[in-house]
Amino acid sequence: MTILDLDLFFDDGERKGPPSVKVYEAKASTALSKSSLPGLDFCLNPYIGCEHGCIYCFAPDVVRRQRETWSSEVGYRSNIPVLLNRELRTKRGTIGIGTVTDPYQPLERLLLLTRKCLLEIARHDNPISILTKSDLVLRDIELIRSTARPEVGVTITTMDADLASRIEPKASPPVARVETLRRLADSGIECYAMVGPVLPFLEQQEIRELLGAIAATGCKRVMADRLRMRPGLEMAFLTANIVRSKGVLSDPYRAEMSVRLVRDECTRMGMRFETAF
């Protein structure tokens, strides 16, 4: 296993936490897997794991990987562009890019795997749907525009930079993600904000501030998802001093009311509201 210091590839001072991540090569057996997610026929995940380290991430449970190493040991599927080139000859349908990883996590700046996959997709007619927390997606904005019916979602859960740094430590800061949405909207690419999970401990004013920032970008669509509980999640929030008492995260009524508030504010601000999954 190779250890790369990814700080060598950053000059914006945004990276936080330990400077190194363990990186390993993983050969994929297939590039496109069947997807059960609404609106997607296939999923494409160039990486295994995600350096963003989001405290609430559901992906380790979905792919049955150890949560403890999900963000500190990241695999890259080196042969995925070659496999994709072959599979696109026969597989038609919408491709979701980044369903259990972030395709624009820090390692992508170095390896360009997502970009190489987009170059292959651009030669075919498969629609794509990208989901990310990174402003690195803007690097590929013209390439994305060249694909068939592209869609890009940007996940933003809070406008509080300090809170974001604790729950999504190595993702782009909220203001950078908002600016990413604005530039996507200005480019004419179909885009949406993923408010997922909706954090049930946020005050009404905080949710309104978040949605107001999204609306100001020109984005017309918001997708929301409730916080999905898993063993150890509440304790992780308590240990990080993000919530101070048990039950705040696991209260189903509170979670439902938070999602309803997002829905109502979207309606008030003229944005289309959808629930995810």
pLDDT bucket at 245, cuts 50 / 70 / 90: confident
Asked whether residue 142 is domain-assigned, the answer is yes
Query: Could you tell me if 140 and 120 are in contact, meaning their C-beta atoms sit under 8 angstroms apart?
Result: no
Asked whether residue 270 is domain-assigned, the answer is no
pLDDT tens for residues 47-70?
Answer: 999 999 999 999 999 999 988 899
Q: What is the pLDDT of residue 7?
A: 55
The average pLDDT across 229-257 equals 90
pLDDT tens for residues 111-153?
Answer: 999 999 999 999 999 999 999 999 999 999 999 999 999 999 9
Instruction: Decide if pLDDT at 3 tops 80.
Output: no
Long-range contacts of 247-255 (CB under 8 A, 24+ apart): 248/200, 248/201, 249/200, 249/201, 251/200, 254/200, 255/198, 255/200, 255/226, 255/227
Asked whether residue 169 is domain-assigned, the answer is no
pLDDT bucket at 247, cuts 50 / 70 / 90: confident
Q: Note down the domain range covering 87.
A: 20-148
Strands 42-44 vs 33-34: parallel, antiparallel or unpaired: antiparallel
Instruction: Decide if pLDDT at 1 tops 70.
Output: no
Q: What is the pLDDT of residue 29?
A: 97
Asked whether residue 70 is domain-assigned, the answer is yes
How many structural domains does the chain have? Answer: 1
First CA to last CA distance, the chain: 35
Asked whether residue 181 is domain-assigned, the answer is no
pLDDT tens for residues 157-173?
Answer: 999 999 999 999 999 99
The average pLDDT across 94-101 equals 98
Asked whether residue 238 is domain-assigned, the answer is no
The average pLDDT across 182-206 equals 98
Q: Which of 135, 136, 96 has the alpha carbon at shortest distance from 115?
A: 136
Asked whether residue 79 is domain-assigned, the answer is yes
Find where tokens 């992906």 sit.
59
Asked whether residue 83 is domain-assigned, the answer is yes
* Confidence (pTM): 0.93
Q: Which amino acid is at 102?
A: D
